[in-house]
Chains A and B, each alone.
Chain A
Amino acid sequence: MKSIYEYYAKWIREGKLKVSSDWNKERKVKFTIQDPCQIVRKTFGDPIADDLRYVIGKVVGEENIIEMTPNKSNNYCCGGGGGFLQSGFTEARRAYGKVKFDQIMETGADYCITGCHNCHAQVHDIGHHFGGHYSTVHIWTLICLSLGVLGPNERAYLGDDLKDVNVFHPESEH
């Protein structure tokens, strides 16, 4: 069993995936990273977290990453796992998620990158619920953005600041 992060990193290193962080050189949009429990702590440990950071660094620029504390294998659970998102008890779920929210807020980052859909939904929800100013974005969204293959309709979770960056219009290609 392998994680896609490992492949992203491998492909980037091998030059197969030609990502670039140039788009963010001037903008300096700040990102923080949510390490998914299942992938990092419970399965692959810090090495996969490091791969994830390598990928993100290449995509958004290393200087634009702000780490949460603690992170990697010690990262807190987002509070949405274990079926919590689907099981009701919304109030309790959000109460647990407050820890994560505070952690994200403390970084001051504009975006929180999540690598897992479950985390994404929870981080997004608590951001809204507690009135956070950050956006929640999936890693592949940013890879696509950096590759310049992200269409206008795939930017629902991007903030206004990135709505117009490297927009890919397949129809215009023709």
Chain B
Amino acid sequence: MQKKTKLQSNGSVLVVGGGLGGIRAALDLAEARKDVILVDKAPCIGGLMTQLDRTFPTNNCDLCTVAPFTAKDSRGGHLDMRGLTTVTAVKGKEGNFTVSLMTAPRFVNVEKCTACGECQRKYPECVSFAPGLDPRAPTCMRYPKATPYAYVIDMAKCADKEGLKQCCPVGAIETDALPKVEEAQCGSIILAAGAALFDPSHLDYFGYAAQPDVVTSLEYERILSASGPTGGKLLRPSNGQPPKKVAWIQCVGSRGLQKGAGAYCSSACCMFALKEAMVTRERFDSEIETTIFYMDMRAFGKDYEKYLNRAKEQYGVRLVHSRPHDVLRPVGMDKLQILYTVDEAPKHITEEFDMVVLSTGFKMNEDVKKLAEDLAVELYADGFPKTDCFNAVATSVPGVYVCGTLQGGKDIPETMTQASAASCLAGAKVAVTPRPKAELPAVTPECAGSPRVGVLVTLCDHESTALDTTALVEYAKSIPHVVCAAAFEAACDPSSFDAVKAAILANGVNRVVVAGSSPRYELEKYQAMLAPVGINKYLIEVANIREQAAWVHAGEPAAANAKAKQLVAMAVAGVMAAKPLADHVVPANKNALVVGGGVTGMTAALELAGQGAKVCLVEKTAELGGVARNLVKTIEGGDVQALIADLVEKTTSHPNIKVFTATEIVDHSGQVGLFRTGLSVNGAYKEIEHGATILATGATPNQPQAFLLGENSRVCTQLDLQKVVNEQPKEVKKWKNVVMIQCVGSRDADNPNCSRLCCQSSIKNALAILKENPNARIFVLYRDLRTYGRFEEYYQKARELGVIFVRYSVDNPPKVEAAGHYANVTFTDVIMGRQVVVSADCVGLSTGFVASRKSNEALAKVFGLPLTDDGYFAEMHVKLRPVDMDKAGFFVAGCAHSPKVIAENLTQARAAASRAMTVLANDTLVQEAKFAHVDRARCAACLVCVRACPFDVPQITVDDKGLGRSYIDPVKCHGCGTCAAECPAKAIQLNQFEDVQILSSLDQLLAKVNA
């Protein structure tokens, strides 16, 4: 019998899919204090990313990076996570959906299961299931830190139910469990169930089905992964030997190339292959030759071009512009052969490789397609959902949103951005659910008792082969006051963490050193993890043995190990000197400041205002609309001017939005939840208070000095060209030859990154020209044509319509010369091996964007925010926090982050709004105990602190003894420590960085030197 219950939850958002996007969307909603139900058909959440070994462009291990997301479940009671659950039916409409959820039995009681693995050892056939290359990876967990952490039994395969039941030492196996069916009410639905990957089995010429050494890129990732089938060793599946030469073949299942392939570009595979090649050389053997056979290297994301350059220059990854014909293994041969040709010589080349990786693209998941169809969501022929051309996460059904690869192939940052955007829109449909906040753990005297230090070595073995974690643990144990030391197999393995917790409690540990990656990533996580076992968050120190030892000294294991030990000893010394502290709770301001009145800024402002936040929208110029005012249509045909008019109208009339045009930001102070910003409104000073800030300041259309731009009337930018096509169709009809040159002022020394939008914009213009004048001959001179995603289809259409695409190399750029009425463009056609001169009526330069460096620098200075080398605003984490900034409460969206097309800007705007709502939803905020404090008995009231403080915080006040002494308000203090450094009486100490902590660390660091 199926049990049918009704969930006691109104006004929830249903998130379908527990991959990275689903988790992000659910967490955003939960943090914004909205109820969420997160369902995934898999027994644990994490999705595709958890199978990856490392991600670009940081080449970090994903298991650690994703951990904070999966570990922090049930945020404030708003998040209801369900594994093994599918949506069986949906009724109703936006604001009032009724969904039927079916949860398959796990046959394991999650509460009881300790994941001891006994069942798996005794009944391996019944324990489900592991992905990847080999169905029996070392653990049957999907990845080592699965959430929830418990096994799943496949009862259908079980012949001995009773025996299985008995084998579990804690009685967690419930062989008679039944599926559970529930109904839930929800206001909106986010589909985040991801995509399937293209299966190349039927492409015999790649030999995937027949040759064990031909693998897909995900399989290769599993081979690289520590939790994969080879335990993190790179071995050939055919013979278990390490490979010497590995090749990647791009665009397998993408760009309409093969049978069954989508016409779109999967967008992520180029970077994925680059990453795999780099990791191969870096982590396994720098002697391994890595070759990528590609069509266009699509490194169009933020700073991706630099990553590509690093792959080529620093890692020596070989890139071959070719579409290989075959992958063969001639009889009797151990190696694979790839047959291919190159542009330069029309002869075929046979090259031998040990392994071939097929960079397989994304395709629509059939299950998801069915659900989408049930929801009556309109789909493309390839099964992916149709979305609005200005709102990539909105489907044809109101209240149903999509994000991540379910919407179309994409990488992690874009998935995260879309997830936040979807949660912004979905969240707007449901109300905040008030829930009591958990009390902050009290700072007790015990936590400051005689120091008993626990050392946790959390660096995964595979983070670097350079480090011997066992030896490090042994060493840690030998440090005085260290009462226990342990290693996590993987940084986020809950079972070993449970053991650690037990050890902490058993040994009466009151201070902890975490030896792992940078405290910039780790500290907050461990503070949260260790709070429940009574460790004060300020009695935790991180030894950065990953970045500072394992990684920088990867090539010198002895040095790396010695340094790691030293870093641990330093951290122990530091934590011994640390003091327990209590955080502050203060009321938060719930208004937002949006800087920049372009389409991105207006969209962000409207989303925030729609969710009840009061928004102050500041625009530098006198008019709203930004750079988009120069645009006519999107490539899909979206009317940009209508969009702007609509946004302006809504923005200016919204009661929650105050628009300040001709306004500059002049000063800024405070912190998240309590910002104070000074504006110069038409020259008059005005101060506003706000809790969060979104930067949407855009970027500047580039005007490089190249190809006679600005000198010859025939030469213009794509922006200008678009205008001409729109406004002077008669002129366009006269054109015989049009030449477009890509990457002008992008991907060069001055502006090393790709401007992302130029390839589609030239194709958009080419198509528009052909519409006016089908006889025009259009040449597009390009380096790599980066029509990612569905833009590929327009590329194809342009080719079909006769647009001629000619590849040029950066060493041999085209030349543009004035020739009377025309501009002569000279370029080399590689295929013909000839120089071609075209007398062009119009030369359209794809000049892209550059950062508004000057104004960004000024803003960055006022706000105290970092910029990238290129002058764009730097996000907190390029992968997982694409719109958050390093400074809490700051978010970035649109071209201020990096150049992108309008729809993407708007998605980012919504994502930033969603992230900002997670801040603005809070009535109070917790302030870290990062402030300076005065020992009033020592203070000489000398005023040095009063004068030194950059924020005028210290004051000489009279205390209860009547003494005038310095007082530093913890709420106002920014925690820079200047006063502490300058105090001549050493009466001031900065929490967390007290002199005794620094000096103890120094002592330890240099102990061996003077010994």
A interface vs B, CB < 8 Å? 40-43, 45-46, 49, 69-70, 72-74, 76, 99
Majority DSSP secondary structure for residues of A touching B: helix
- In the bound complex, how far is the Cα of B328 from the Cα of A99, in angstroms? 17
Contacts of B310 in A (CB 8 A): none
Residues of B within 8 A of A69 (CB): 330
Please report the C-alpha to C-alpha distance between residue A23 and residue B783 in the assembled complex, in whole angstroms. 59
Q: Mark B325-341, 1 if CB is under 8 A from A, else 0.
A: 11110100000000100
Nearest neighbor of B202 in chain A, beta-carbon distance: A45
Chain B hits for A70, CB < 8 A: 326, 328, 330, 339
Interface contact A74-B326, CB-CB below 8 Å: yes
Q: Tell me the complex Cα distance, A40–B325, Å.
A: 13
Give A48's nearest chain B residue, CB to CB.
B204
In the complex, what residues of B have CB within 8 A of residue A76's CB?
325, 348
Asked whether B475 is an interface residue with its Cβ less than 8 Å from the other chain, the reply is no
Please determine whether A73 and B203 come into contact, CB atoms closer than 8 angstroms: yes
Q: When the two chains form the complex, which single residue of B202, B259, B339 contacts A74, counting CB atoms closer than 8 Å?
A: B339
What is the minimal beta-carbon distance from B347 to any residue of chain A, in angstroms? 9
Asked if B205 is at the interface (CB within 8 A of a chain A CB), the reply is yes
Cβ distance B504 to chain A, nearest Cβ, rounded Å: 58
Q: A70-B339, A74-B339, A99-B348 are in contact. Are A41 and B205 (CB under 8 A)?
A: yes
Q: Are B205 and A74 in contact (CB under 8 A)?
A: yes
Residues of B near A46 (CB, < 8 A) are: 204
Asked if A43 and B259 sit within 8 Å, CB to CB, the answer is: yes
- Bound state CA distance, A88 and B266, in angstroms? 38
Q: In whole angstroms, what is the CA distance A69 to B331 when docked?
A: 10
Residues in chain A near residue B326, CB distance under 8 A:
70, 73-74
Q: How far apart are A22's CB and chain B's nearest CB, in angstroms?
A: 30
Top 9 A-B pairs, shortest CB-CB distance: A73-B204, A46-B204, A73-B205, A74-B326, A45-B204, A74-B205, A70-B328, A41-B205, A74-B328
Minimum CB–CB distance from A165 to chain B (whole Å) comes to 32
Q: Say which size band chain B's interface belongs to.
A: 10 to 19
Specify the chain A residue showing the minimal Cβ separation from B210. A46
Measured between alpha carbons, how far is A42 from B339 in the docked complex, in Å?
Answer: 16
Q: Report the bound CA distance from A162 to B203 in whole Å.
A: 37
Q: In the docked arrangement, what's the CA distance between A40 and B330, Å?
A: 19
Count CB-based A-B contacts (< 8 Å).
Answer: 33
Interface centre among B205, B259, B325, B328 (most CB of A within 10 A): B205
Chain B residues near A74: list those with CB within 8 A.
Answer: 204-205, 207, 325-328, 339
Choice from A42, A49, A72, A99 contacting B259 with Cβ under 8 Å: A42
Nearest-Cβ distance from residue B208 to partner chain A, whole angstroms:
11
**Bound-state Cα–Cα, A45 to B325, Å:** 14
Q: How far is the CA of A49 from the CA of B207 in the complex (A)?
A: 14
A60 to chain B, nearest CB (A): 22
When distances are taken between beta carbons in the complex, the residues of chain A under 8 Å from B330 are 69-70
CA A91 to CA B538, docked complex, whole Å: 79
- Per the bound structure, the CA–CA distance linking A73 and B752 in Å amounts to 41
CA A45 – CA B201 in complex, angstroms? 10
CB pairs A–B below 8 angstroms (8 shown): A40-B204, A42-B259, A43-B259, A45-B203, A70-B330, A73-B326, A74-B327, A76-B325
Residues of B within 8 A of A40 (CB): 204
- Chain B residues 186-217 with CB under 8 Å of chain A are 202-205, 207
Cα distance, A55 to B211, chains bound together (Å): 26
A70 to B325, CA, bound (A): 11
A70-B326, A74-B207, A74-B326 are known contacts; what are 5 more A-B pairs with Cβ within 8 Å? A41-B205, A45-B202, A45-B259, A70-B339, A74-B325
Q: How far is the CA of A15 from the CA of B204 in the complex (A)?
A: 29
**Chain B, residue nearest A71 (CB):** B328
A174 to chain B, nearest CB (A): 48
Complex Cα spacing A43 to B260, Å: 10
In the bound assembly, the distance between CA atoms of A17 and B756 in angstroms comes to 59
Which residue on chain B has the smallest CB distance to residue A67? B331
Q: Which residues of A contact B325 (CB under 8 A)?
A: 74, 76
CB contacts (< 8 Å) of B327 on chain A: these are 74
Nearest-CB residue, chain A, relative to B205:
A73
Residue on B nearest A47 in the bound complex, by CB: B204
Whole-angstrom distance between the alpha carbons of A73 and B203 in the complex?
8
User: B339 and A72: CB pair below 8 A?
Assistant: no
- Which residue of A has the minimal Cβ distance to B348? A99
Task: Determine if A72 and B348 form an interchain contact, defined as CB atoms under 8 angstroms apart.
Answer: no
Complexed CA–CA distance, A157 and B327 (Å): 34
Whether A41 contacts B204 by the Cβ 8 Å rule is yes
- Report B-chain residues with C-beta under 8 Å of the C-beta of A41: 204-205
Residues in A whose Cβ lies below 8 Å from that of B259: 42-43, 45
Contact with A along B454-484 (1 / 0, CB 8 A): 0000000000000000000000000000000
Nearest chain A CB to B329's CB is how many angstroms away?
10
Complex CA gap A105/B514 in Å reads: 69
* Chain A residues within 8 Å of B348, by CB: 76, 99
Inside 8 A of A45's CB, which chain B residues have their CB? 202-205, 259
Interface string of B299-330 (1 = CB under 8 A from A): 00000000000000000000000000111101
A1 to chain B, nearest CB (A): 11
Find the A residue at minimum CB distance from B206.
A73
What's the minimum C-beta distance from A74 to chain B, rounded to whole angstroms? 4
**Chain B, residue nearest A70 (CB):** B328
Shortest distance from the beta carbon of B689 to any chain A beta carbon, whole Å: 65
Q: Is the CB of B204 within 8 A of A72?
A: yes
Name the B residues within 8 Å of A43 (CB-CB).
259
Contacts of B204 in A (CB 8 A): 40-41, 45-46, 49, 72-74
How far apart are the CA atoms of A46 and B330 in the complex, in Å?
Answer: 15
Chain B residues lying within 8 Å of A99, measured Cβ to Cβ, are 348
CA gap between A43 and B204 in the complex, in Å: 10
Contacts of B202 in A (CB 8 A): 45
A40 CA / B326 CA spacing, docked (Å): 13
Complex CA–CA separation, A49 to B204 (angstroms): 10
Q: Which residue of A lies closest to B326 (CB)?
A: A74
Question: In the complex, how many angstroms separate the beta carbon of B333 from the nearest chain A beta carbon?
Answer: 11
* Min CB–CB distance B343 → chain A (angstroms): 16
In the complex, what's the smallest C-beta–C-beta distance from B327 to chain A, in angstroms? 8
Q: A70 to B327, alpha carbons, bound, how many Å?
A: 10
Give chain A residues whose Cβ lies under 8 Å from the Cβ of B203. Answer: 45, 73
**CB neighbours of B207 from chain A (8 A):** 74
Residue of A45, A49, A99 with highest tally of chain B CB at under 10 A: A45
